[in-house]
Amino acid sequence: MRRLVPVLSVAMVLALTPASQSQAMPSAAQVSSAANPAQFSERNPRYKLRPGDVLNLSFELSPELNQEISVQPDGFVTLKQVGDFHVAGESVPEFREAVKSAYSNFLHEPIITVNLKDFEKPFFTAGGMVAHPGKYEMRGDVTLVEALQQAGGFTEESKHSQVLLFRRVSQDWAQAKVIDVKKMLNQKTLAEDIHLQSGDMIFVPQNRVSKIRKFIPTAGLSMYSPIP
């Protein structure tokens, strides 16, 4: 059974300013490392419709129903003679079948073509202990390690062994996975490197040593010697 993390947790990742990086994030114990493997290993997934997308609908036998529609901020579109229709999170083929089913109530075997005219360019965001937190455009296939490199790599305070990857699975929920990037790189098991999907969010937490360092008075550092 997969565990889902509310979007409220994901929203914390979106706050990518330096000040926000010190805010608390879910610990590895709070995030399921046994998330559904298929959800994170899927290659070349179909594009999912999202607010702001524009689609053209063409009815071969009923051209009066041809229309251009935009996905509204709440994920709905308004179809002629049908009304409001929720589409966010669906692929274009799924949407086409849903539209065909809706119009079958008053059209006999409608032939409908759906074209995605305008859409948001694929992207991912990286936050936490990376050199350059922010939003990055995805050009082609991008893996987690490649995404971290685009974000400037880890900082000295990063916890390489507990990198968090958030992936939206619905309007209200996101799935989370903990990835031991340190182990993956040390063992050179790059076959396990996850391929990102548009909208994925990466968060690199702060390591325990860097957290403790904040509470060591500089005046007393001379009393500490390296641990063998």
Residues 188 and 174 in one domain: yes
User: In angstroms, rounded to a whole number, what is the distance separating the alpha carbons of residues 199 and 125?
Assistant: 7
Residues 18 and 126 in one domain: yes
Residue of 120, 182, 112 whose CA lies nearest to 153? 182
Q: Of 63, 87, 118, which marks where a domain is finished?
A: 118
Q: Of 84, 118, 152, which marks where a domain is finished?
A: 118
Domain that holds residue 158: 4-46+121-213
Residues 128 and 37 in one domain: yes
Residues 170 and 63 in one domain: no
**174 with 166: CB under 8 angstroms?**
yes
Average pLDDT, the chain: 79
Q: Which residues contact 8 (CB under 8 A, 6 or more apart)?
A: none
Residue of 149, 158, 164, 150 whose CA lies nearest to 201? 164
User: In angstroms, rounded to a whole number, what is the distance separating the alpha carbons of residues 195 and 51?
Assistant: 24
pLDDT bucket at 9, cuts 50 / 70 / 90 = very low
**163 with 179: CB under 8 angstroms?**
yes
Q: Is residue 87 part of a domain?
A: yes
Residues 112 and 146 in one domain: no
- Higher pLDDT pick, 172 / 112: 112
Residues 129 and 196 in one domain: yes
CATH number for 75: 3.30.1950.10
Output the pLDDT for position 213. Answer: 53
Judged by average pLDDT, the poorest of 84-98, 117-131, 196-210 is: 196-210
User: In angstroms, rounded to a whole number, what is the distance separating the alpha carbons of residues 89 and 222?
Assistant: 57
Our count of domains for the chain comes to 2
**163 with 178: CB under 8 angstroms?**
yes
Judged by average pLDDT, the poorest of 30-34, 38-42, 60-64, 196-200 is: 30-34
- Predicted TM-score (pTM) of this structure: 0.60
Residue of 175, 162, 151, 170 whose CA lies nearest to 204? 162
AA letter at 72: Q
Residues 169 and 73 in one domain: no
Interstrand relation of 123-128 and 201-204 (parallel, antiparallel or unpaired): parallel
Q: What percent of the chain has pLDDT over 70?
A: 71
Query: What separation, in Å, do the N-terminal and C-terminal C-alpha atoms of the chain show?
Result: 43
Q: Of 64, 97, 118, which marks where a domain is finished?
A: 118
AA letter at 74: D
Residues 188 and 140 in one domain: yes
